[in-house]
Structure 1
Amino acid sequence: MHAMPRGYPRYVLAVMVGINFLNYLDRYILPAVATKIQGEFHLTDDQVGLLQSAFLLVYAVATIPFGIWADRGVRKTVIGIGVTIWSLATIFTGLARSYAQLFAARAVMGIGEASYYPAGTALLGDYFKKERRGRAMSIWAAGTAVGIAAGFAGGGIVAGTLGWRAAFYMTAVPGLVLAVLAFMLREPLRGAAEARGPQVSKAASITWRTFLELLRIPTMRATIAAETALFFVLGGAAFWLPTYLQRRFALEIGPAGTLAGGVLVVGLLAGSLLGGTIADRLAIRRRMASNLPVGIAGFILGAVFVALALVMPSLVLFVPVFLLGAASLYLYNGPYTAVKQNVVLPTVRATAVTVALLIEHLLGDSYAPWAIGRVSEALHSLQLALLILLPPLLVLAALFATLGLRHEDRDGRAMEARWASAAPIP
C-alpha cells in the first residue's frame, strides 16, 4: 500500500463515524414516529414492534454474507453498497401505503445496514494499532449514540410538523453522499496495524470451520453471550422509550422524541467515550487487556439505574436516573468492540464480528421490540413490561461477561503469537 498522509486514519475514522451516525439515525426514526404510524395504520403494540423486529432479524441474517464478503473482498466497497441500499430503503419507508409495504421496506433496510458493522470495524482495525484501537472504536461507537438521539429528536420534530413520512425522507441525500466517500477511501492491507506478522490484501477462505474456531475462543463466547442479553435491553428500551414518555408522562410526540434523543445522546456518548478511555488506561497500567471489566461494571450499574428510573413517579426524577443508566450501559461499547478485534486474526475480523452480530441479533434485540409489545399488551402496561424484562437481563449480561475475565489477556496474546508466526496468504 502506498504511503498515506499521517492524519489519514483520522479522516477514515471521521467518515466511519459519519456513516455510523446515519446508520442509527435511519434505524431510530421509526421509534420516534411509532405512535403516528400506529394511529394511521391502526396497529397494536406488538404489530408496530414487529416492524423493528423485521429489520433486526433480516439485519442479523444478512451479516453472514456481508461479513464473509468483507473478509474476502474490498471492505470500502461493501460499505458503500450497503449505505446506498439502506438510504434508498429509508425513502421507500416514507412512501409506504400499507403495513405490508412498511414491513418490506424495513426488511430491505436491514439488508443494507448489515454491511456496515463487520466491514467498518475490520477496516478501522487495520488503521489503528492495538493500543489506540479501544479509543478509536469508542469514538466510532459514539456515532451510534448521536445517531440514535438524532433519529429520535429529528424524527419526532419533523413528524410533529411535516408528518411522519417526511422524517424518513430527510436522510436520503446525506446517505448517498457518505456512500460516495466510502467508495473513495483507501483500502488498508489486512494486519497493517499489527506490530508483527504479515500484511495481506485479502483474507483466507471462510468456512464453517472458521465459524466454529471463532466460537472456541473463550473471550469471544463470553463477549457474545453478554452482548446478546444486553442487545435485548438496548434494542427494546431504545425502541419503546419515546412511546413510554408519551404514555407515562403525557408528552406530545415532538417533545417525547426530543427528550428521548437528548437523554440518549448525553448518556450514550458519555458512556461510549469514557468506556474506551478507561479500558485503554487500565490496559497500560496493568499491562494486560482490561476491556471486559469495564463492561461488567456498566451492566451492574445500568441494571440498578434502569430499574430505579422505571419506578420514578415524575419526569423530573426519571430523566437524570435514566441518563445515568444509559451512560453506564454504553461503557461496554468501545471496549467490547475492541475485544472482538483483539482476540482474532486480522484476516477474520469481519467474520468474527459477523458471527457475534448474528447470534446477538437473532437471540437478542431482533425480537425485543415485539416481545416487549406482547408483554405490554398482555399486562396492559408498558411500564411493567420494561421493568420485568430489562434489569434482570442486565444482571445476566454481567454474569456472562465475568466468565471471560481470566481469558481476555491470554486469548489476545495467543492471537498475536499466531499472527507473528503466520506466513503471508497468497
Structure 2
Amino acid sequence: MHGYRSTLAPMAGAPAKARLSRYYPWLVFALSFGLLLSDYMSRQVLNALFPMLKLEWGLSDTELGALGGVVALMVGVLTFPLSILADRWGRVRSLTLMAALWSLATLGCALANSFGEMFLARLCVGIGEAAYGSVGIAVVVSVFPRHLRASLSAAFIAGGAFGSVLGMGLGGVISAHFGWRVAFGGMALFGLILVALYRLLITEKGLLARRQELGEDVSASQTQAKLELRPLVSALFSTRSILCAYVGSALQLFVMASMLAWLPSYFGRYYGMSGAQAGLTAAAFVLIGGAGMIMCGAFTDWIARHIPARKWIVAIAYSVLCCVLLGAAFQLPPGTAQLVLIGAGMLLAGGTAGPASAAVANLTAPAIHGSAFATLTLVNNLLGLAPGPFFTGLIADHIGLRGALQFLPLVGLLAAVCFVIGRRTYSADVHRLERMRAAAGNR
C-alpha cells in the first residue's frame, strides 16, 4: 500500500505542476504590465496637477516644466547603465527595487512643501523609472516562446499609453475631490501594492525554470550576462539588421510622439475646442494608439508564426500605411473625414514597436536582453520621442501647425527604408547568432 501511494504522488503532482507552468508566464506579464502602468501613472499624474501647484506655490511655467522634464532626463541618462546592472545583479530584484523607489518618491511628492522638495522627489521618480521599461520587457519575453514576442512586446509597450491616460485622468478626478497630495499618494499606494505582489510571486528561480522549459541554455546565458563592456557593446551593435531595427523603431515613434504632443493644440486651434475638450479628444487618440500597438503586435505574430522574417515586411507595411493615412488626413479640412483618417493613422503609428522589439530580442542573447532593450529605448528617445515634438513645433513656428503635420508622416517613409534594409540581412544574422550560441554551449 505504501508503494502504491508513492507511485501515485508524482502522478498527482504532475498536472498541478503543468497548470502552474502554463499560468506562470501570464502572471509574470500581468504583474510586469501592472508595474508599467504604475510607472507612467506616477510620471504623468503631475500634468493633471499643474494648475493646483501653480496656484498654491506660485510656480512659473518653466518651473512646472522642470518638474516634468527631470523625470525624462533621468530616464534618458540612466536607462543603459542601470539595465546592464540589472542583467548582472538579477532582474527580479532590480525591478522590485526600481518600483519601490519610484513609488516612495511619488509619496515624497505628496509630502513636499516647496518646489525644491518636489523637484528632488521627481528626480528620484526618474531614477526609479529609468530602466524599468527595458528590464521589464526583457523579463516578459524571457518567459514566452519566440512566436509570441511581437504581441507581448507591443502589449507591454502600449502600457505606457494606458498608464499616461490613467495617471492624468485619475489624477484629475482625485485631486478635484481630495486635493493634489492625495492624488500623488494614490499613485504611490498602487505602486507599493504591486511591488509587494511582485516580490511575493515572481522569483529568479521561477524565471530560470521557465527559460529551461523553453529550451534555453541557461548556463551559457549566465556566462553572457557577465560580458565585459566592450564585447557587450559589440553584441548590441554587431549586425546591420539590429541597427536598422533600432533606427526604424525610433523614426516611427518620432511620428507617434509628435502626434501625441501636438494633437491637443491642433484640436484647439483648428476645431475651436476648449482646453478640456481638446485634452479629452487627444486622450481618445492616445488610447487608439495604445490599442493599435497591441493589435498590430498580435497580427504580426499571427502572420509571421512560421516565417519570422515576415515581421519585417509587416513593419514596412505599418510605416507606409501610417504615412499615407496621416498624410491624407492633414490634406483635408477639419471635419469628420479628417478625424477618421487621423484615428486610422494612429492605430498604425505605434505598430512597428512589436516587430522591432521582437527583432531585437531575436538578434541578441537572452542574458543581455535587458541591455538590448535599454539600447532600443535609448535610440527611441534620442531619435524619436525627444526630437519629434520639438522639431514639429520648430517647423510649426514657420509654416503653421497644420503645415508641420502635413510633412510629419514622411518620417515614416524613412522608417520603412530602415526596415527594408534590415530585412535583407536578418535571416543570416539570426543564423550566425545561433551558431555562436551552439559553439559557446559546446565549450
Q: TM-score range by the shorter chain?
A: 0.7 to 0.9
Moved more, 332-341 or 316-325: 316-325
Alignment partner for residue 363 of structure 1, among 369, 378, 383? 383
TM-aligned CA deviation for residue 394 of structure 1: 2.0
Residue 294 of structure 2 corresponds to: 273
Does 1:78 find its partner at 2:99?
A: no
TM-superposition CA deviations, 1:131-189 (whole Å, max 9, x none): 23333323323423322332344445556776766654442111111122222312222
Q: Size of the alignment, in residue pairs?
A: 418
Secondary structure of residue in 2 paired with 1:405: helix
Contact 1:156 1:253 in 2 (8 A): no
TM-aligned CA deviation for residue 13 of structure 1: 1.0
Contact 1:156 1:257 in 2 (8 A): no
Secondary structure of residue in 1 paired with 2:305: helix
CA distance in 2: counterparts of 1:196 and 1:56, whole angstroms: 35
Which letter maps to 1:300? V
Secondary structure of residue in 2 paired with 1:204: coil
Which letter maps to 1:275? C
CA distance in 2: counterparts of 1:154 and 1:381, whole angstroms: 33
Which letter maps to 2:90? V
TM-aligned CA deviation for residue 323 of structure 1: 1.5
User: Residues 381 and 159 from structure 1, CA distance in 2 versus in 1: closer, same or farther, beyond 3 angstroms?
Assistant: farther
CA distance in 1: counterparts of 2:348 and 2:249, whole angstroms: 14
| TM-score normalised by structure 2 residue count | 0.81
For the aligned residue pairs, the C-alpha RMSD in angstroms reads 3.4
Does 1:22 find its partner at 2:38?
A: yes
CA distance in 1: counterparts of 2:246 and 2:121, whole angstroms: 29
Contact 1:267 1:324 in 2 (8 A): no
CA distance in 2: counterparts of 1:294 and 1:414, whole angstroms: 23
CA distance in 1: counterparts of 2:297 and 2:143, whole angstroms: 17
Contact 2:323 2:412 in 1 (8 A): yes
Contact 2:252 2:350 in 1 (8 A): no
Contact 1:298 1:331 in 2 (8 A): yes
Residue 186 of structure 1 corresponds to: 203
Greater helix content = 2
Secondary structure of residue in 1 paired with 2:212: coil
CA distance in 1: counterparts of 2:399 and 2:49, whole angstroms: 21
Contact 2:252 2:352 in 1 (8 A): no
User: Residues 194 and 7 from structure 1, CA distance in 2 versus in 1: closer, same or farther, beyond 3 angstroms?
Assistant: closer
TM-aligned CA deviation for residue 85 of structure 1: 2.2
Residue 411 of structure 1 corresponds to: 429
Contact 1:82 1:113 in 2 (8 A): yes
User: Residues 267 and 373 from structure 1, CA distance in 2 versus in 1: closer, same or farther, beyond 3 angstroms?
Assistant: closer
* Counterparts of residues 10-409 of structure 1 (less than 5 Å): 10-30=26-46, 41-43=59-61, 52-92=68-108, 105-155=121-171, 157=173, 167-184=183-200, 185-187=202-204, 188-189=207-208, 191-192=211-212, 194-195=214-215, 197-199=217-219, 200=221, 203-269=225-291, 271-285=292-306, 287-310=307-330, 313-314=333-334, 316-373=336-393, 378-379=397-398, 381-388=400-407, 390-409=408-427
Contact 1:196 1:420 in 2 (8 A): no
CA distance in 2: counterparts of 1:57 and 1:133, whole angstroms: 29
TM-aligned CA deviation for residue 7 of structure 1: 1.0
TM-aligned CA deviation for residue 8 of structure 1: 0.9
CA distance in 2: counterparts of 1:240 and 1:74, whole angstroms: 39
CA distance in 1: counterparts of 2:185 and 2:329, whole angstroms: 34
TM-aligned CA deviation for residue 119 of structure 1: 1.5
Contact 2:80 2:378 in 1 (8 A): yes
TM-aligned CA deviation for residue 380 of structure 1: 9.0
CA distance in 2: counterparts of 1:103 and 1:178, whole angstroms: 25
User: Residues 259 and 363 from structure 1, CA distance in 2 versus in 1: closer, same or farther, beyond 3 angstroms?
Assistant: same
- Decide which structure has the larger Cα Rg and report it: 2
TM-aligned CA deviation for residue 277 of structure 1: 2.3
Q: Which has the higher contact order (CA 8 A, sep 6+)?
A: 1
Which letter maps to 1:265? L
CA distance in 2: counterparts of 1:167 and 1:235, whole angstroms: 26
TM-superposition CA deviations, 1:338-373 (whole Å, max 9, x none): 111111111211111122222322333234445545
TM-superposition CA deviations, 1:79-117 (whole Å, max 9, x none): 112112223344455666777766655443322212212
TM-superposition CA deviations, 1:292-342 (whole Å, max 9, x none): 222222122222333344455446444322221111112212222211111
TM-aligned CA deviation for residue 194 of structure 1: 4.7
CA distance in 1: counterparts of 2:199 and 2:352, whole angstroms: 30
| TM-score normalised by structure 1 residue count | 0.84
TM-superposition CA deviations, 1:254-287 (whole Å, max 9, x none): 4433332222223421x222222222223234x3
User: Residues 90 and 234 from structure 1, CA distance in 2 versus in 1: closer, same or farther, beyond 3 angstroms?
Assistant: farther
User: Residues 27 and 410 from structure 1, CA distance in 2 versus in 1: closer, same or farther, beyond 3 angstroms?
Assistant: farther
CA distance in 2: counterparts of 1:268 and 1:29, whole angstroms: 18
Contact 1:307 1:391 in 2 (8 A): yes
Contact 2:253 2:350 in 1 (8 A): no
Contact 2:246 2:356 in 1 (8 A): no
Contact 2:161 2:287 in 1 (8 A): yes
Secondary structure of residue in 2 paired with 1:192: helix
